Chains A and B, each alone.
Chain A
Amino acid sequence: MRISRRLLSAAASASTANPSEIAFFSRLSQQWWDESGEFAFLHRMNPVRVGYIRDKILATIEDEAPTPAQGRETVRALGPRPLAGLDILDVGCGGGLLCESLARLGGRTLGIDASSSNVAIATLHASQDPRLSGSTPSSNERPQPLEYKHTTSEELLASGASRPQFDVVCSMEVLEHVDHPDKFLRSCADLVKPGGHLFLSTISRTPLSQFLTITMAENILGLVSRGTHDHTKYVKPSELVQFFSDELGWIRRPSNGSPGNLPFDQAELRGMAYLPWAGKWILSPRGAPMELDCNYLFWARKPKTPQ
């Protein structure tokens, strides 16, 4: 309930990004692409997030085709560029881990970050890759597959003369770092086109997450820098569901309380778990014990017509 109140409290500042958090991540930004360093866990997690986004979008394409056969054909024709033709925004792109993958899958991708050094690192890294920097002849037909901008979701929303909107908005591992989750989520939601997708990944506020992400990851194993996480900022899945149904009206047929039982065409929650023995992250099996008690993904579809 604590967070629910926070979600509802409006803030005066123009941006929800926390200045000390921005500075903290700026200092780390040189390490973004060290796959064995501070962000090793994010690198390992990335394939799961990308796979989830890809599969969800492809499933929607299949579901909405006039016939299942046509749906399969559309998906097949997309081949290795399943996100072709989609405008994608990644809010809090960091070093560009997610953006690069989404751009390679064909999405016209814009990454934004409140830290200018993150944006510089992300831009520099993408420039090393001829398939992302558009310097190979083969990618000439798709100029600028990937752009970065030093801004926040709120500023982006306020900027353009025409209100910028995206087919897909992602914000991965950001929600737990912002000061005003309600404003932040509202700005992300406003950046989604009607019928578009919003993907979030974050950490639930539970004793388990306190233990795994702070006690273990920061204090004992030293996998991430101390001070990376603030447990009180974590958001529970039920709070997200409540916000997207009660406040935004995206989830129109809220199930009775159980976040794991959402209308399949409107929203979904999936847990993510790290398997140390396999060295990789997986989507937790649906209904696994404590599935949503630590890292989880949230997907919601914006209604095609305003509610």
Chain B
Amino acid sequence: MTLILGPCCRQHARRFFTASKPTVWTARSFATEVPSSVEEFDVVIVGGGPAGLALATALASSKPILDTTSIALIEAGDLARVRNWSQPSGTFSNRVSSITNISQGFLDSIGAWAHVENSRVAKLEDMQVWDGLSDARIEFSASELRSLSGSGRVPQIAHMTENLNLQRGLLHRLNDFPSVKLLDNVKVDDIKAEEGDKGGWPTLKLSDGKTLRTRLLVGADGFNSPVKKYAGIRTYGWAYDTHAVVATMFHSPPFPGTPLTAYQRFLPTGPIAFLPLSDTAASLVWSTKPHLAAALKATHPDMINAAFRLPDTSMKVLYDVLLDTKSQVTPEEMAETIRWREESHGIAPLSSLSSIEAGGSAAVGGYGGEADMPPLVTAIQPGSVAGFPLRLSHAEVYIGEGAGARTALVGDAAHTIHPLAGQGLNMGLADVQALSKCIENAVQLGADIGSRTALLPYPRARYFENHKLLSATDKLHKLYETTFPPVVWARSAGLEVINELESVKSVLMMNAGRGGEASSLWDVAAAGVEGVSRAVHSAEAVARGVGNLGMALIQNALRK
């Protein structure tokens, strides 16, 4: 790379500083001979996940940006496999996201939603969330959303779909913009700021030998973002002592007309969620302790059914069975244990609280009944079980400075969140929307879109919003995972549990509205988060009986 000023140009520079006679200088007289292998771009996006692809699409679908800006996206994997992805109908990929109505509106506005395969999208109409200790329960539905927003009909809380369906849709939309360069099957070997007088623009060396120089480098490259590292941006956060187990589950169809419902139960080990994908399939997200998660990778449908139904004391027995058995526990043994636990709790075999599907009951999937439970899972899609660690992280800033200037982070590169509120992907899409809006405004003012001044509106729009959501979700996770007796007692007695669940609801419903309704919904959410701190206060009040030591311990437990 010969990007530093050549000797001839240095001479020019000297002449400049001693120039006494008026002379016309053009920028070209300074321009270095750029080796032909260096390609110049205005925006280079690293990462072809949902956030990176959405950013490329959003930028390209803005005419002012497309007319003035060259765009490239680099992805280490094979984008053709995503573009040509297909899966037999009725089966699903295990990485699923809930797309809020705001996110969906944004995807629609950039022309991508039309390319998302509709038959693989489920409209979520109802949601049931309850506490694993007290069974205190809260329900919310799309009809409630309507009354919250006070304007128009909102037919769904969110759309559930596979990330691959979204990524494929974005790639198909990008077909409309041949000028956007998609460089896949190629890794970023190195990123350097130019040296000397060339302005310190980021310069990327790719594994195929190419060199790219870019005005703006966007990291959509996940938690271990190389762009973040290049920019020298530090990350604040911690790993939760929690892993998520995901899987695609099958069940019998419900009664016709039953609203499509998501279920989430807060167990002391973490929340377990049932996210519907169709009438007969749903996605599992079970957040739990790492050693349990490892054992659960060989999970059985009965175990999942039990996790939504059995009291926590019996869940502990099941965990022991799962962990203690030297050889793998057989489905029969697990079913036997569950049946035994149900008997001891007096749960009738055919009731909605029973986890074992009775052979002759022509099961209707378990919808309805006195306690609203998810349909009984009958099978797990082979090969769909996977696990990954959960962590809270927030980059200290979203745009680089100094030696790491001309950089911006979006999506998981900027923040990672506990999945309990289903907001991870939506936060990334909101980043993308804000950054592309910021770039659109900048090009219309002739700004250098890599400059700090041009990029500042982006973190101003997103940083605090993301921070609120991250901290609300983090507080909830901690409140529910604590095993400190006074807090647990307060929860099991139903004390303030409704308040806590209201806050869960608020976080889940956040951004559920459309466009302009976001702020009013946020107010509800903020009230919910208030609810969390109220709950903490009441737990503290309980502890006051135990003494100040107890209170300090609670505070520590919650602060941990």
Interface residues of A (CB under 8 A from B): 35-36, 43-44, 46-47, 50-51, 54, 79-81, 100-105, 116-117, 119-120, 123-136, 138, 143-144, 146-151, 155, 159, 278-279
Q: Is A127 touching B28 in the complex (CB atoms < 8 A)?
A: yes
Residues of A within 8 A of B24 (CB): 147-149
Please, which residue of chain A has its CB at the minimum distance from the CB of B25?
A123
A104 & B68 in contact (Cβ 8 Å cutoff): yes
Is A279's CB under 8 angstroms from B460's CB? yes
Give min CB distance, B406 to chain A, whole Å.
11
Residues of chain A within 8 A (CB-CB) of B453 are 35, 43-44, 46-47
B291, CB-defined interface residue at 8 Å: no
How far is it, in angstroms, between the C-alpha of A143 and the C-alpha of B40 when the chains are bound?
A: 18
Interface positions, chain B 426-473, Cβ under 8 Å from A, are 442-448, 451-453, 456, 460
For B32, what are the chain A residues with a Cβ–Cβ distance below 8 Å? 127
What CA separation (Å) do A126 and B16 show in the bound complex?
14
Which residues does chain B contribute within 8 Å of A120, judged by CB atoms?
13, 16-17, 19, 25
Please state if B13 and A124 are interface contacts (CB–CB under 8 Å): yes
**Is B332 interfacial (CB 8 A cutoff)?**
no
Is B208 an interface position by the 8 A CB rule? Answer: no
How distant is A54 from chain B, measured CB to nearest CB, in Å?
Answer: 7
A130 nearest CB neighbor, chain B only: B40
Considering only CB atoms and an 8 Å cut-off, how many residues of chain B contact the other chain? 44
Could you tell me the dominant secondary structure of chain B's interface residues?
A: mixed
Complex alpha-carbon distance, A131 and B447, angstroms: 12
Please report the C-alpha to C-alpha distance between residue A186 and residue B445 in the assembled complex, in whole angstroms: 29
Asked if B197 and A124 sit within 8 Å, CB to CB, the answer is: yes
Scan B22-35; emit 1 where CB is below 8 A from any A CB, else 0. 11111111111010
Question: Out of B67, B201, B401, B452, which one reaches A128, CB within 8 Å?
Answer: B201
Docked complex Cα distance between A81 and B34 (Å): 27
Q: Are A101 and B19 in contact (CB under 8 A)?
A: no
Q: Judge if B64 is at the interface, Cβ distance under 8 Å.
A: yes
Decide if B349 is an interface residue (CB 8 Å cutoff). Answer: no
Residues of B contacting A54 in the complex (Cβ-Cβ under 8 angstroms)? 444-446
Please, how many angstroms separate the alpha-carbon atoms of A35 and B215 in the complex? 16
A125-B199, A144-B28 provided; 17 other pairs, C-beta below 8 A?
A44-B453, A47-B447, A51-B445, A79-B63, A80-B67, A101-B445, A119-B25, A120-B25, A123-B29, A127-B32, A131-B42, A132-B27, A135-B31, A149-B25, A150-B21, A278-B460, A279-B460
Cross-chain contact B22 with A50 (CB below 8 angstroms)? no
Q: A116-B19, A125-B199, A135-B34 are in contact. Are A104 and B446 (CB under 8 A)?
A: yes
* Ranked 5 nearest A-B pairs via Cβ: A127-B30, A128-B199, A120-B16, A101-B446, A126-B27
Please, could you name 7 A-B residue pairs with CB atoms under 8 Å apart, sorted by A? Answer: A102-B446, A123-B29, A124-B16, A124-B30, A126-B27, A146-B27, A148-B26
| Bound CA–CA A79/B17 (angstroms) | 38
Contact B22 A123 (CB under 8 A): no
Contact A80 B27, CB 8 Å, known A44-B453, A150-B22: no
CB distance from A269 to the nearest CB of B (A): 21
Contacts of B30 in A (CB 8 A): 123-124, 126-127, 133
Residues in chain B near residue A44, CB distance under 8 A = 453
| Closest-CB distance, B552 to chain A (whole angstroms) | 37
Q: Which residues of B contact A136 (CB under 8 A)?
A: 40
Task: Encode B6-49 as 1/0 by CB contact (under 8 A) with A.
Answer: 00000001001111111111111111101000001010000000
- The answer on a CB contact under 8 Å between A50 and B27 is no
CB distance B443 to A150 under 8 Å? Answer: no
Asked whether B198 is an interface residue with its Cβ less than 8 Å from the other chain, the reply is: yes
Determine how close the nearest CB of chain B comes to the CB of A91; give it in whole angstroms: 14
Known: A47-B453, A123-B30, A124-B197. A148 touches B25 (CB 8 A): yes
Residues of B within 8 A of A134 (CB): 26-28, 31
Q: Contacts A80-B64, A104-B68, A125-B199; is A159 near B22 (CB within 8 Å)? A: yes
Known: A120-B16, A128-B199, A150-B19. A144 touches B447 (CB 8 A): no
Q: Which residues of A contact B452 (CB under 8 A)?
A: 35-36, 43
B23 touches A123 (CB 8 A): no
Give, as a whole number of angstroms, the nearest-CB distance from A57 to chain B: 12
A138 partner residues in chain B, CB cutoff 8 A: 70
B29 A117 Cβ-Cβ under 8 A: no
